[in-house]
Chains A and B, each alone.
Chain A
Amino acid sequence: MRLGMVIDLKRCIGCYGCQIACKSENGTRPGTTYARVVKREWGEFPNVKKLSIPVLCMHCNDPPCVDVCPTGASQKRDEDGVVFIDREACVGCRACMMGCPYGARYFQDETRDYFEVGENAYEQAAYSAHERGVVEKCDFCRSRLAQGEEPACSANCMCKARIFGDLDDPDSEVRRLIDEHGGFQLNPELGTDPSVYYLPPER
């Protein structure tokens, strides 16, 4: 089994729901956005196009972050291909951040709070699941997967532009969509074989 995600650039309206669905599921600190949206614009008025491109950890089949991690904290799960960080083993050297070509990793430094008066009741509860001095990133919501649920970003997406499933299963919806609409990976030339595929915005 190889878990992966299809992001349909035709359906996505760039609402940033995924960024906040992720934040509220994972209770991440300021500046940490496992899921986020990149906006691009090209052309000349009035023939101009804008595109919203949701991004997250690409869960590469051949992840460079795992290769460069000196402690073995960055790992890829054998059973489903999910790339994750073992927090206990992470020493915060940030080599993986240099190794990741997709900018999907966030170092948890000591300084940031949303409100200058400090953490509120929610943040105190949420941040207890996190540690300072380590690197964090999207792990396809491992805790949700363990309960048989899909990641928070795809579960919530109000345009159903994020579809989660098993890339190895020829009958899965993700595989069908990739085959039917010419799904592509970002920066395939890097050779990391991402498990996140995109469907073209016009078809």
Chain B
Amino acid sequence: MPKHEAIDQASQNDNEDVWIQSACGMCYNQCGIRGHRVDGTLIKIEGNPDNPIGRGRLCARGLAGIQLLYDPHRIDYPLRRTNPEKGIGVDPKWERISWDDALDEITERLATIKENDPRGLYFSGTVICLAPLSHALATFLPAFGTPNSFVSDGHQCGNAEHILARTLHGSVTTNPDVEHCDYLLLFGCQAGLGTYYALTTMAQDVADARDRGMKLVVVDPFLSSAAEKADEWVPIKPGSDGALACAILNLLVNEYRIFDADYLLEHADGPYLLTEDGWYARDPGSNRPLVWDIDAGKPRPFDDPELGQVALEGAYQVEGQTCRTVFETLKGTVAKWTPEAASEVTTIPPDMIRKIARDFGEAACIERTIEIDGRELPHRPAAALYFKGAHGHDNAWPTSMAIELLNEVVGASNVPGGLLGTTPVCDGHPDTGFPRWKPGANEDGLLDAGMLLYNDPYGVVPGWPPPPTDTELPNLRDLIGWPITTCFTPAALTDKENFSFDHKPELLLNYGSNLLMSAARPEVTFEAFKDTFVVSFNLHSDETAEALSDIVLPDTSYMERLDPLPNFTRHHHPVGLGNWGHTIRQPLVEPLHERRHFTEVLLELGQRLGLTETMNLLTNNLYGLVAPHALDPERTYSWREISDQAYRSWFGDEHGLDWFETNGVMRWPKKVEEVFWKPFVHARAPLYNEWLKRAGEQVDEIVEKKGIKGVDTSGFFPLPDWRPCRAHRAREGYDMQAIYYRVPWHTFSMTYENPWLDEISRGEPYSYFICINTKTARAKNITDGDPIEVEGADGGTIRGRARLTEGVHPEVLAVANNGGHWAKGMPFARGKGVFFNQLLPMDLEHSDLVSLSMDCDARVRVTRMAEGA
């Protein structure tokens, strides 16, 4: 039977032999897959060559999905806790119940909560299941009336990056245009080299680019997959990436004077004048930000049609004040970051910092152009990119901003060769013009993202960050509403000193997340929800289920369910030229046993609770459904019907669900103006974050009024700077920093249950060990393979075996991902790898409040344990 065969409706029959196109779900990237089913059994998953997301190639995780589908330890039936005691490591003594009994009880509890105070419903989810998570956040939860949602892996998310991806790139994420790039500088990131967005596609493109001669420089305390391939590995003290970036910025703008003046004048707020107090100087009449007109010798609004030559640098007298341009202020702010000063905190030699700055600046080839499809475009073949290694600290915001501005000052932003937002512009399918979105400019001339972003506690709205309003929500979305995700809820609920709420979590609905393990130290999460009725949709009876859950419902894996828009054609889509890929996720097998799709269960719960009308309207809003494909509020729809309407609405009646089930993916070519959109859209990237300065003052007012002491806005920098993270503070006797790194064959902690992926880790020298520098180990009398104990200065102890390596910074202990499961329901994963998160407290002190990121490293000491301890 040929591949690409349509799904055989008589699927479970004998003599069946079909290939079905779908989307992976082993991480958040949602790559295109096809599954081979024979006589009702899935026997192979491989990449789908017809899908631009992965182009037929998969990572180890995606190929190993089949062992998740058929894992004998999956939850197959609804379960109810019979042990009244809850606790970490406590046996819940599950008993099997029927779906009817489970939903009856949940409905009854939810109806009571809705009547009393709907905010009593809390929701936690995981970004791995992007589409069902988004659907719940945008429809069921707002229809119910609760803003109390959080993403349990929220602080593992790129929160600071997402803010800057939005303000600078009109997107949620970024990736470099490696096809036209000659110099890629990665800070704690493995784009195309191990992890990160669009991995399977980027891996092909980065390998091609390196083959062609693109230089790769990787800043990382650990010799990671990416660092292994680097032309230059730059081992850095964890959490100091921002200082390095500030020093490079300083060299570029002050010493070497390598910057793209045209870009900064036209496409950024570089010429905007700042008052002495740090606000945009504004035209008294129009309130427009002012720039200095050199020809006229006076300030004028940035969009004044009469403008002559505009000043990028310098200080000018405006209304009796000395006003510097944004770019001049940036130059002054980073001036203190000499290579020598940065060297002291990063441990990188000053000469190497100079070399990186020089190489990066020269590689950017300011003023070079390139012709693509008959269009002449700026060509800036240098890009700087960062992820968790750099921003997984409580200085996430200034660090991320400093690295982003490396691209901005040389104009390598959303042009060929530079850093690109992930699909900020989509003109839609050529036949229908849908889906479509595009950034515009706000009244200050600044970039306003066009795609839907999740920044509203009640759902999904486009636009600028909402101002701080209050502190009624434990997820802090009312106080700090601009990060895309948050996992602060357990921290706020347990911080009685700083927070008090007029409602409490009556019921926690948990979708697919193992928040006890993934958020931070498990005791915090347990304490937050120990008195809450917890309902979990799970693949496994994991640590959270066993410690906290009252009812566990058997979720479908990504191989057993329908998601019409697994990545909404927005998130984690490959950047650069090529094709759009609008993909279906459909069952490769019918759900096994009594597993049910979370989204379908929410539709039923919505119906039972009388929410269908509101949910239908919100569904129309989420997918942009308009007549004749908008859902009728009065009608009840199945999930298949809703999916069908979404497809027809976007691609016409001939391309409904049937078409997608057969054809798998809708492709059409990307346009130059969509990919390299910056020269075509007049919207300035804000180098200066005036909005954040304002937000900081508003937050201060609110917390002062409420008497909250722990909320410190001193890190709300409008321009890049650096300050130490919590793990840098000297603590007597604690001489090292513990970090985690990511390996290409595991996703967070969930894949530790997969036997094929476990087989990799068992054959690989590092990932099930705690890596320590050879010389450091010897000085501590630790030899390779010794059992060691790592004790955190802020609490928490982890144990593992030492792996001596030259490939790690001498002051650092490196742990892969987050293993060490202990749940009875994940016996295969139990005890494999090291449970890193035990070292992480979750509180205000260890958080970057701009991005609601947590310090994901810890100050520690390490000791050798007695064998057998």
| Residues in A lying within 8 Å of B, measured CB to CB | 8, 10-11, 13-17, 19-21, 23-25, 27, 30-31, 33, 36-37, 39, 41, 43-46, 48-52, 114-118, 120-123, 125-126, 152, 155-161
A44 to B206, CA, bound (A): 27
State which of A16, A43, A49, A155 has its C-beta within 8 Å of the C-beta of B60.
A16
| B16 vs chain A, min Cβ distance (A) | 12
Inter-subunit contact A25/B44 (CB<8 Å): yes
Chain A residues, Cβ within 8 Å of B773: 45
Inter-subunit contact B46/A156 (CB<8 Å): yes
**Chain B, range 4-62, C-beta contacts under 8 Å to A:** 38-39, 41-47, 54, 56-60
Contact flags (1/0) for B504-525 with A, using CB distance below 8 Å? 0000000000000000000000
A120 to B805, CA, bound (A): 38
**Chain B, range 179-216, C-beta contacts under 8 Å to A:** 193-194, 199-200, 203-204, 206-208, 210-211
- A43, closest chain B residue (CB): B806
Given A115-B73, A159-B207: A19 and B760 interface contact (C-beta under 8 Å): yes
Chain B residues, Cβ within 8 Å of A155: 46, 56
Inter-subunit contact B745/A24 (CB<8 Å): no
Chain A residues, Cβ within 8 Å of B233: 46, 48
| A144 vs chain B, min Cβ distance (A) | 11
State which of A36, A123, A157 has its C-beta within 8 Å of the C-beta of B70.
A123
A133 to B73, CA, bound (A): 29
A8 to B207, CA, bound (A): 10
| A132 vs chain B, min Cβ distance (A) | 19
Contact flags (1/0) for B676-718 with A, using CB distance below 8 Å? 0000000000000000000000000000000000000000000
Nearest 3 CB-CB pairings of A with B: A114-B755, A120-B70, A15-B744
Inter-subunit contact A16/B70 (CB<8 Å): no
A157 to B755, CA, bound (A): 21
State which of B43, B235, B807 has its C-beta within 8 Å of the C-beta of A50.
B807
Inter-subunit contact A158/B59 (CB<8 Å): yes
Of B39, B69, B72, B810, chain A has the most CB atoms within 10 Å of the CB of: B72
Chain A residues, Cβ within 8 Å of B57: 17, 156-158
Report whether over half of chain A's contact residues are helix, strand or loop; otherwise say mixed. mixed
Inter-subunit contact A13/B66 (CB<8 Å): no
Inter-subunit contact A39/B764 (CB<8 Å): yes
Given A48-B223, A156-B47: A33 and B228 interface contact (C-beta under 8 Å): no
Q: How many B residues, CB 8 Å from partner?
A: 65
State which of A36, A48, A156 has its C-beta within 8 Å of the C-beta of B763.
A36
| B484 vs chain A, min Cβ distance (A) | 27
Chain A residues, Cβ within 8 Å of B223: 41, 48, 50
Inter-subunit contact A24/B72 (CB<8 Å): no
B756 within 8 A of A: yes
Chain B residues, Cβ within 8 Å of A158: 54, 57-59, 199-200, 203-204
State which of B744, B745, B806, B827 has its C-beta within 8 Å of the C-beta of A44.
B806
Chain B residues, Cβ within 8 Å of A159: 203-204, 206-207
15 residue pairs of the A-B complex, CB under 8 angstroms, read: A11-B211, A13-B225, A15-B203, A15-B225, A15-B745, A16-B60, A16-B760, A20-B756, A23-B64, A30-B759, A39-B764, A45-B235, A45-B809, A51-B228, A120-B72
- A17, closest chain B residue (CB): B60
B307 within 8 A of A: no
